[in-house]
């Protein structure tokens, strides 16, 4: 297999004076992959440590979300994400900790590519196009519950070490980011990927993780959220049956539920969701050959 980071592109970084580098010292090379991440996508950031460099740890953030750097053979690497709402840049900050307890901060603006997506026109019953006002409080509380799971993933160590797998064998019927037009009115975007599936067909965990939530939610119906650690969460929506409970540790490919038509849907299918903290991303990034999530640094946990 080719070296996974050989296509990494150097960041244009600015050093914020803070300590150990001193004048004339060159900052360690920092790079990212893919070279032009799209709106709403995962990427990997790598800090290369030259021989004899004094960097002992790396911290940072990208687009307001923490980066969880782990040690590589020749530096440090972290998974990150860019928001769907990013225009042409995403702000990054990398903090280098040195052996003498000093630190240096590098800042950069990563270029972001536009994601081109179609519009999907749907005709549904009026109550599905616009939820009744009486459900507003329920929907708000459910959204807070999901956001809490997403935020907690930053506190969980990385749990996956094998490649991610498809959660269902059905064909992809709707991709990430599609504009959803309900009854001729633009209401939302499709924040996930849909797999065609007969009711009762199997749903598998995309990778090792902790079952963080099992709930019946207004929009997503019977729902499972898996915390994979290092900020990464996957979700499995509209299920007819759940075969796990909160607190379970699941492995890649493990059967966790069955396809259904629960929640705000018109037909049975699996909606697969992925988030890095508060940033919702295209879950198909997890499956791309040598994709960012397959390049997890360090040894398996």
**pLDDT tens column, 13-39:** 444 433 434 444 455 678 888 989 999
Quote the DSSP letter at residue 219: T
- Whether 241 is in a domain gets the answer yes
What CATH code is carried by the domain that includes residue 102?
A: 2.60.40.1930
pLDDT at 53: 72
Q: Give dist(CA 224, CA 213) in Å, integer.
A: 6
Find, among 74, 25, 26, the residue nearest to 49 by Cα: 74
123 and 105 housed in the same domain? no
- Whether 187 is in a domain gets the answer yes
Among residues 65, 87, 111, which one ends one of the domains?
A: 111
- Whether 2 is in a domain gets the answer no
Q: Say which residues have a Cβ less than 8 Å from residue 144's Cβ, sequence separation at least 6.
A: none
90 and 218 housed in the same domain? no
126 and 236 housed in the same domain? yes
- Whether 128 is in a domain gets the answer yes
137 and 270 housed in the same domain? yes
pTM of full prediction above 0.85? yes
What CATH code is carried by the domain that includes residue 208?
A: 2.70.70.10
- Whether 136 is in a domain gets the answer yes
74 and 134 housed in the same domain? no
- Whether 149 is in a domain gets the answer yes
Residue with tokens 């519950």: 145
77 and 131 housed in the same domain? no
pLDDT at 20: 39
248 and 274 housed in the same domain? yes
101 and 141 housed in the same domain? no
137 and 269 housed in the same domain? yes
- Whether 301 is in a domain gets the answer no
169 and 103 housed in the same domain? no
Contact yes or no for 66/278 (Cβ under 8 A): no
Among residues 111, 129, 147, which one ends one of the domains?
A: 111
Q: Is 26 helix (H, G, I), strand (E, B) or coil?
A: coil
Find, among 163, 242, 240, 174, the residue nearest to 206 by Cα: 163
Residue with tokens 């699996």: 270
Domain count of the fold of the chain: 2
- Whether 244 is in a domain gets the answer yes
124 and 211 housed in the same domain? yes
Environment class of residue 183 by beta-carbon count within 10 Å: exposed (0-12), middle (13-18) or buried (19+)? Answer: middle
102 and 140 housed in the same domain? no
pLDDT at 58: 94
- Domain of 236 in residue numbering reads as 119-295
pLDDT at 265: 86
Q: Give dist(CA 160, CA 30) in Å, integer.
A: 24
Among residues 111, 130, 158, which one ends one of the domains?
A: 111
Averaged pLDDT, groups of 10, the chain, 301 residues long = 38 43 55 92 88 84 96 90 94 92 89 87 65 86 97 97 95 90 71 94 98 96 98 98 98 98 92 98 92 60 37
């Amino acid at each position: 297999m080719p070296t996974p980071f050989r296509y990494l592109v150097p960041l244009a970084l600015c050093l914020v004076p803070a300590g150990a580098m001193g004048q004339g010292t060159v900052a360690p090379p920092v790079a990212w992959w893919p070279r032009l991440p799209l709106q709403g996508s995962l990427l990997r950031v790598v800090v290369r440590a030259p021989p004899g460099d004094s960097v002992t740890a790396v911290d940072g953030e990208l687009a307001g979300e923490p980066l969880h750097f782990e040690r590589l053979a020749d530096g440090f690497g972290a998974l990150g994400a860019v928001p769907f709402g990013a225009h042409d840049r995403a702000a990054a900050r990398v903090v280098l900790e040195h052996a003498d307890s000093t630190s240096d901060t590098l800042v950069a603006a990563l270029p972001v590519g536009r994601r081109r997506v179609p519009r999907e026109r749907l005709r549904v019953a009026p109550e599905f196009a616009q939820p009744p006002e009486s459900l507003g409080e329920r929907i708000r509380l459910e959204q807070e519950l999901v956001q809490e799971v997403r935020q907690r993933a930053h506190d969980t160590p990385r749990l996956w070490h094998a490649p991610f797998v498809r959660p269902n064998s059905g064909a992809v019927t709707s991709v990430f980011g599609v504009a959803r037009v309900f009854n001729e009115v633009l209401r939302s975007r499709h924040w996930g990927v849909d797999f065609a599936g007969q009711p009762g067909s199997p749903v598998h965990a995309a990778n090792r993780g902790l079952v963080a939530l099992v709930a019946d939610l207004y929009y997503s119906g019977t729902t499972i959220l898996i915390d994979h650690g290092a900020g990464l969460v996957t979700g499995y929506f509209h299920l007819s049956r759940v075969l796990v409970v909160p607190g379970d540790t699941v492995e890649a490919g493990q059967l966790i539920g069955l396809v259904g038509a629960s929640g705000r849907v018109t037909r049975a299918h699996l909606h697969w969701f992925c988030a890095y903290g508060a940033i919702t991303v295209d879950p198909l990034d997890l499956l791309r050959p040598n994709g960012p999530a397959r390049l997890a640094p360090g040894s398996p946990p």
